[in-house]
Chains A and B, each alone.
Chain A
């Protein structure tokens, strides 16, 4: 990175953060600190919801998914528009009517205190784990770009996020997310157009799609009923519906974003904006990855995209095995590039037989180059046993640092950091507010001043920041960041969602029945996760269905009024 890149990076991020802190200085009221002034319009809510979900992982890891597996990952989001409709129609009006700070206050009001604590506890557990991974993602960028140690980068970037979040509060999060999102969208759009401009001369957009499609990268929808396939239309629709319903309906990091709207209309419009925009946005990011794949058919890619790990291993490889793999990969890649050119030339000439032959030969060469990449990973892991097998997370950042002009590199790195800050800030605020409202204020200090609760919220946010930081230091064990976040979510979200669905739709089920059913269903999900190999998205459905079923059976056994504990009152 040049001085210009650093100026763009530091100038854009610090000015946004400073503006947010300045705008919200001197907040001593709990409602203002946790919800803002409740004057937020739909566009701010819509962007804030989007920015909270779209973390740095989305912009670093998703193009790598597109590069490696094509567009299939977009199916993960098929359930989201339907889920957002349910949230806007059912969940949101209830939260606003009760004027809650957290979603789990509603569980206390509908069931009892222990169910509220269970819901809040499940949220804190899964979000606290996932929060570590979202600190890890931007640390990859810095460690790759600047050549810093990964652990040092995790600690430094984590501290920046913590300071910004604790001093900013919820309104600062919403305000800064708007400007951060502008940087993110500008950065991704610039990367997309620069990538197209860097394709070979006389190479049209249709040619790029032809090559990507020819290598199976544009196969976006798979209607297979095979449960073992990770991404299918059905797992995306059903599993994605439950995952999104849980995330948007019951995860405080999202609930806190949309309950701060100035009216029900503004909050609903913000959610509907996301329902429409999310699938096209994910498609665009995955397409960027698929086009990166096309770009690297003509430009020599590294045999392993995590170049810092590769170079470190090569220094401890006296036999030269890594260099030998690199040389062989370069030779196969050059051959493949010629074959792809022949394939396109045959296509342009209208010779369908020659086109089919060249395409088949290019496919064979691609299989050989992929086999060499796999071989390179195993050689790397032999030379450096701690190295990751998957380098997909490094594909996009490698392109950014090696092929984008100075200034634009700074913009893209700023975009990644803006995404990290925006989602991290929302997560930490939600963790802090849930701990304050559902545990501290509910169990320990029922009557204290507003300033005391604001101060407690800041301390809890700070503590969660350090917990997330500690988990981030172990996140390198996860093969792919975005999958790791979704897997953690899928394990807990099904049961969390069931608590709310039973609360809304099964009025005869009481607190004791749902509490023990939720614990049993969570144990079942853990047991299945460690024994089955089905797509993780199904655990959202399994956990939810099991909890609902158990609660109905248990309530029947307890009798109509059996095990009903007094409901909590909601404090405003």
Chain B
């Protein structure tokens, strides 16, 4: 049996990932914050392209 309180006292490898700064194993983006930023940029680019498509062909 394992409770929330038990696990909270021992950070462990999974816990250390919470800060978003551990290595991602990726060549170009080393931290999870970097990965999240990259995903957010992809989202912005997708929206921008859709807006452009709407404008060009409307």
Chain B residues near A560 (CB-CB < 8 A): none
Chain B nearest CB, measured from A498 CB (Å): 19
Tell me if B50 and A221 are in contact (CB < 8 A): yes
Tell me if B58 and A216 are in contact (CB < 8 A): yes
The one of A106, A109, A279, A572 in contact with B43, judged by C-beta atoms closer than 8 angstroms, is: A279
The one of B17, B50, B58 in contact with A93, judged by C-beta atoms closer than 8 angstroms, is: B17
Chain A residues near B57 (CB-CB < 8 A): 209-210, 212-214, 218
Chain A nearest CB, measured from B29 CB (Å): 10
Tell me if A272 and B35 are in contact (CB < 8 A): yes
Complex-state Cα separation, A84 to B46, whole angstroms = 16
**Beta-carbon nearest neighbor of B56 in chain A:** A213
Chain B residues near A219 (CB-CB < 8 A): 54, 58
Chain B residues near A233 (CB-CB < 8 A): 47
Tell me if A109 and B58 are in contact (CB < 8 A): no
Would you give the 0/1 interface string for B1-13, flagging 1 where the beta carbon is closer than 8 Å to chain A?
A: 1111001000011
Tell me if A96 and B14 are in contact (CB < 8 A): yes
Would you give the 0/1 interface string for B28-51, flagging 1 where the beta carbon is closer than 8 Å to chain A?
A: 000010011001101100110011
Tell me if A89 and B36 are in contact (CB < 8 A): yes
Chain B residues near A209 (CB-CB < 8 A): 57
Chain B nearest CB, measured from A163 CB (Å): 35
The one of B32, B53, B58 in contact with A268, judged by C-beta atoms closer than 8 angstroms, is: B32
Tell me if B4 and A221 are in contact (CB < 8 A): no
The answer, yes or no, to whether A81 is at the interface (CB within 8 Å) is: yes
Would you give the 0/1 interface string for A560-572, flagging 1 where the beta carbon is closer than 8 Å to chain B?
A: 0000000101111
Would you give the 0/1 interface string for A264-291, flagging 1 where the beta carbon is closer than 8 Å to chain B?
A: 1100110010011001100100000000
- Chain B interface main SS type: helix
Complex-state Cα separation, A88 to B24, whole angstroms = 13
A85-B39, A93-B17, A569-B1 in contact; A220/B50 too (CB < 8 A)? yes
Tell me if A265 and B50 are in contact (CB < 8 A): no
Would you give the 0/1 interface string for A337-355, flagging 1 where the beta carbon is closer than 8 Å to chain B?
A: 0000000000000000000
Chain A nearest CB, measured from B53 CB (Å): 6
The answer, yes or no, to whether A97 is at the interface (CB within 8 Å) is: yes
Chain B residues near A279 (CB-CB < 8 A): 43, 46
The answer, yes or no, to whether A74 is at the interface (CB within 8 Å) is: yes
The answer, yes or no, to whether A535 is at the interface (CB within 8 Å) is: no
- Chain A interface main SS type: helix
Complex-state Cα separation, A214 to B46, whole angstroms = 22
Chain B residues near A88 (CB-CB < 8 A): 32, 36
**Beta-carbon nearest neighbor of A75 in chain B:** B50
Complex-state Cα separation, A220 to B46, whole angstroms = 11
Chain A nearest CB, measured from B25 CB (Å): 6
Complex-state Cα separation, A89 to B17, whole angstroms = 8
Chain A residues near B42 (CB-CB < 8 A): 81, 275-276
Tell me if B7 and A283 are in contact (CB < 8 A): no
Chain B residues near A214 (CB-CB < 8 A): 57
Complex-state Cα separation, A216 to B58, whole angstroms = 6
Chain A residues near B35 (CB-CB < 8 A): 268, 272
**Beta-carbon nearest neighbor of B37 in chain A:** A85
Chain A residues near B4 (CB-CB < 8 A): 98, 106, 109-110, 567, 570
The one of B1, B15, B36, B56 in contact with A571, judged by C-beta atoms closer than 8 angstroms, is: B1
The answer, yes or no, to whether A362 is at the interface (CB within 8 Å) is: no
Tell me if A218 and B7 are in contact (CB < 8 A): no
Tell me if B14 and A572 are in contact (CB < 8 A): no
Complex-state Cα separation, A32 to B4, whole angstroms = 23
- 22 A-B pairs, CB-CB below 8 angstroms? A78-B47, A81-B42, A82-B43, A85-B40, A88-B32, A93-B17, A96-B14, A97-B7, A98-B2, A213-B58, A218-B57, A218-B58, A220-B51, A221-B54, A233-B47, A265-B24, A269-B24, A272-B39, A275-B42, A570-B1, A570-B2, A572-B1
Taking A71-B50, A220-B54, A279-B43 as known contacts, 4 extra A-B pairs with beta carbons closer than 8 A to each other, sorted by chain A number, are A82-B43, A272-B35, A279-B46, A567-B4
* Residues of A participating in the B interface, judged by any CB pair closer than 8 Å: 71, 74, 78, 81-82, 84-85, 88-89, 93, 96-99, 106, 109-110, 209-210, 212-214, 216, 218-221, 233, 264-265, 268-269, 272, 275-276, 279-280, 283, 567, 569-572
